[in-house]
Amino acid sequence: MVNSGGVLSQNLWRFIYSSVIFFSLTLSFVAYLIVEGLIIERLDLEARNNVQNEINLLGVKLQHSVDKINTVSAAIVSAIERDKDITEADFADLVGDLLTVVPEMRHAAAAPGLVIRFVHPMEGNAAAIGLDYRDVPAQLLPIRQVIQTNQSILAGPVDLIQGGKAFVGRTAAYTPDPATGGRYFWGIVSVVFETDRIYRMIGLDRLSALDTVIFNMSASPGANDRILFGNAAVQEDNPVTVNIPVLDGVWRIAAVPRGGWRNYADELTDFRIRFALGGILVMLITLVVVRAFRQRSEARAQLFTAINSIQDAFAYFDSKDRLILCNTKYSEYYKESSQAIRYGATFESILRYGLERGQYVDAVGREEEWLRERLDSHSKSDTKTEQKLADGRWLRVLETHTPDGGIVGFRVDITELKNARDEAERANRAKSDFLNVMSHELRTPLTGIGGYAAFLAAPERLRSAGALQDLLRGGSTDTAALDRAFSAFLAEMTGFGAKIGRLAEYLSRLINDILDLSKIDAGKMIIDKEATELDSFIELIVKDFQGVANAKGLALTFEDGAAGEVIHVDPIRLRQILVNLIGNAVKFTDEGSVSVTTRRVNGAFEIEVADTGCGIMRQQLSTVFEEFSQIDNSATRKAGGTGLGLAIARKIAELHGGTITVESEVNVGSVFTVRLPAA
């Protein structure tokens, strides 16, 4: 409406001003809510990831502590099963040896027939001698469970008769029954670890940034969960949790930051001020455009300036879905479509231009179907979608319909948030894969040891023993036959013993790898350097593998390119690196050769280990040195292993100020190069 002079009426101007203010404030408020939500989501995700990493480490340490309890129990039970008439002195010697290896253990006890007869050390624990578990109802129920299931259990914290609280691992011991050829129940073996020492082992006494609670979960989680450590109020504050399998049960660790989750008010104050100022600026510029209607071109330029000041991409399409305006961020995000992003272009034409140039990753191979889905989403009111572009960028697309049928769209770059989320998920999967592999690698040798040990504990079941026994019972006087039968029996027993030794050695290497990785991550690995003649040192290591290589028909060679050169290194740790690299090369090479070469290059020594084995896929080269990383190809699964060796080798090289690199091609071979400073 206009007056006779062609001037808009005062009421109409008021209406226009009111409409502009309302629209600007609404748009700014919606955008503020959306952007603030994204920021809070990112900050909250970072905080939860930090807490998750902390409790994951606690979980690994807790599992390691429980494994110690289980290992000690198994060792004592194995000794009893070998000698059911074990004496108090023998028991004391056995537990004493274990205490030197596992000083965290308080004491161990054995109860033949459910009555405690052996305790070591005796000092401070003598009150337990003579205790009949059947007279202690609180302990009788779990002991019956051990006997019935023949599985170890972990109880605690329990009050000890001799004083104090402790975690107790209990295992049933069975010995051979000569009369029946089977086994009979001997008694219960208990291994006691002080509660406070267990907590110190896993680092609960050093937590300064977290409030933590540990539950011993029941069969119905949440019903009768028992608090073992920490503040029960943590569970009311949306904690981060991790479940740890513990022998016959599960422990749950729940944690929140010390003092609870932050509300991020301080971090958002500056953002709110800037966003409010930006909203006010947009509103003022819009009002200027309305008041200076005749100076439309100038006002339009000012509006574009204001829109371009928004940190996220912005675009506005009118009721006919034609582009009216957008900021430079919008064109920057959609680089492949920049030529089509122009005033008056329809949204569909811009999409088709990008589709032809492969801009939208999710649309490849299904362009028309993707286009229909995108247009349908675009036509709906208040939509939120995520979009991946060909350059790897992730955008959150926020679109809102205006009262006149137009569409206002924001494109928020969430690449960092997506990458952080993907990295957290990848780390969690890697941890799960590592635990699965570790479980397999531990179970396999333990199963073998148990099987061979069973034959050693009951040698009468051996075929050679049966043959010898038949000769003796038959009264044979054929000394040659007796000698052959006895030699066969000794050979079979010796073979089983050797196999048990090799399996035990493998378990020892596995445990040492885990301990080394823990030391390195905790910054406690000490590098003790000394002058070492490089080539002669490496030559001895290569000779150690010559027999294995010859057995596989491989040519194992050493080229001494640094003869007489002396390097300052920790010889034990350097040997650990080379044993891993050469061992892997021989392990994963079925035919061809393995070569070790040394040379001095630009003030540094290089040690190269090359093979003609199965090789590593290109996409896996970037993760081959990562912790908990498994290259799951057929050769790896065939040869076994936990994947810790290369991660430890790289860290040891870095502690020396050096590096390890790899080049590989599938079915051609791999080349690992260790570079160490000469000085």
pLDDT digits (tens, 9 = 90+) for 157-210: 777 776 777 888 889 888 887 777 778 888 999 888 887 777 777 777 666 656
Whether the bond between 239 and the residue before it is cis, its omega within 30 degrees of 0, is no
Mean pLDDT of 88-105: 86
In a domain? residue 639: yes
Query: What is the reported pLDDT for 261?
Result: 77
279-308 pLDDT per residue, tens: 778 777 777 777 665 455 455 666 677 777
574 part of a folded domain? yes
- The answer to whether the CB of 138 falls within 8 A of the CB of 155 is no
Rounded Cα distance between 410 and 300, Å, is 20
Torsion of CA 533, 537, 538, 539, to 10 degrees: 110
Whether residues 671 and 559 fall in one domain: yes
Give the mean model confidence (pLDDT) for residues 92-119: 88
Upstream peptide bond of 157 is cis (omega within 30 degrees of 0): yes
Separation in Å, CA 524 to CA 272, 514, 519, 520, 532? 45, 14, 5, 6, 23
Domain that holds residue 126: 66-198
Q: Which residue has the higher pLDDT, 351 or 382?
A: 351
Q: Taking 90 as the threshold, does the pLDDT of residue 48 lie above it?
A: no
Domain identity same for 617 and 583: yes
Residue 222 clears pLDDT 60, i.e. is over it:
no
Residues 149, 122 share a domain: yes
Give mean pLDDT, residues 324-329.
87
Q: Are 16 and 10 in contact (CB under 8 A)?
A: no
Question: What is the domain-level CATH number for residue 152?
Answer: 3.30.450.20
Enumerate residues 6+ apart whose C-beta is below 8 A from 240. 48, 51, 52, 55, 254, 255, 256
Residues 642 and 662 in one domain: yes
The answer to whether 525 touches 562, Cβ cutoff 8 Å, is no
Q: What is the pLDDT of residue 309?
A: 81
Determine the average pLDDT of the residues in 509-525. 69
| 466 plus 547 within the same structural domain | no
Same domain membership, residue 662 and residue 597: yes
Is 160 inside a domain boundary? yes
Determine the pLDDT at residue 596.
Answer: 94
Confidence of residue 453 (pLDDT cuts 50, 70, 90): low
pLDDT band for position 554 (50/70/90)? very high
pLDDT over 60 (residue 642): no
Cβ within 8 Å of residue 631, ≥6 positions away: 616, 617, 620, 623, 624, 643
Q: Is 541 found in the same domain as 516? A: no
Q: What is the pLDDT of residue 238?
A: 83
514 and 586 share one domain:
no
Structure confidence at residue 4 (pLDDT) = 35
Q: What is the rounded average pLDDT of the residues 93-103? A: 86
pLDDT at 633: 43
Lookup result for tokens 């926020």: 398
- pLDDT of residue 594 exceeding 90: yes
Mean pLDDT of 399-405: 89
Q: Which helix (H) or strand (E) holds 493?
A: helix 479-521
Specify the range with the lowest mean pLDDT, choosing from 60-74, 200-214, 287-301, 468-482.
287-301
Bridge pairing between strands 593-601 and 555-559: parallel
In a domain, 511, yes or no: yes
Same domain, yes or no: 471 and 594: no
Domain annotation covers residue 539: yes
Domain end residue (candidates: 498, 521, 544): 521
Looking at the structure, do residues 587 and 646 belong to the same domain, yes or no? yes
The reply to whether 175 falls in a domain is yes
Cα(460)–Cα(468) distance, rounded to whole angstroms?
A: 10
Say what percent of the chain tops pLDDT 90. 14
Looking at the structure, do residues 553 and 666 belong to the same domain, yes or no? yes
Please indicate, yes or no, if residue 128 is contained in any of the structural domains: yes
Tokens of 148: 């019935």
Q: Is the pLDDT of residue 635 over 60?
A: no
Count structural domains, the chain.
3
The CATH code of the domain that includes 609 is 3.30.565.10
156, 175, 198: which is the final residue of a domain?
198
The pLDDT assigned to 51 comes to: 81
Contacts for 272-278: CB closer than 8 Å, 24+ residues apart = 272/32, 272/36, 275/28, 275/31, 275/32, 275/35, 275/36, 276/28, 276/32, 278/28, 278/309, 278/310
**How many residues in the chain?**
679
Residues 77 and 179 placed together within one structural domain of the fold? yes
Q: What is the pLDDT of residue 167?
A: 82
Closest CA to 47 of 255, 261, 238: 261
Q: With a cut of 90, say whether residue 141 has pLDDT above it.
A: no
Region 463-491: mean pLDDT is 73
Per-residue model confidence (pLDDT) at position 230:
73
- pLDDT tier at 6, thresholds 50, 70, 90: very low
**Residue partners of 604: CB distance under 8 A and separation at least 6:** 658, 675, 676, 677, 678
Q: Is residue 205 part of a domain?
A: no
With H, G, I as helix, E, B as strand and everything else as coil, classify residue 387. strand
Which DSSP symbol is given to 505? H
Reduced to 3 states (helix: H, G, I; strand: E, B; else coil), residue 344 is coil
Mean pLDDT of 306-320: 86
Q: Which of 174, 198, 222 is where one domain is finished? A: 198
The pLDDT of residue 8: 53
pLDDT bucket at 386, cuts 50 / 70 / 90: confident
pLDDT at 425 over 90: no
Is residue 83 scored above 60 in pLDDT? Answer: yes
pLDDT band at 384; cut points 50, 70, 90 = confident
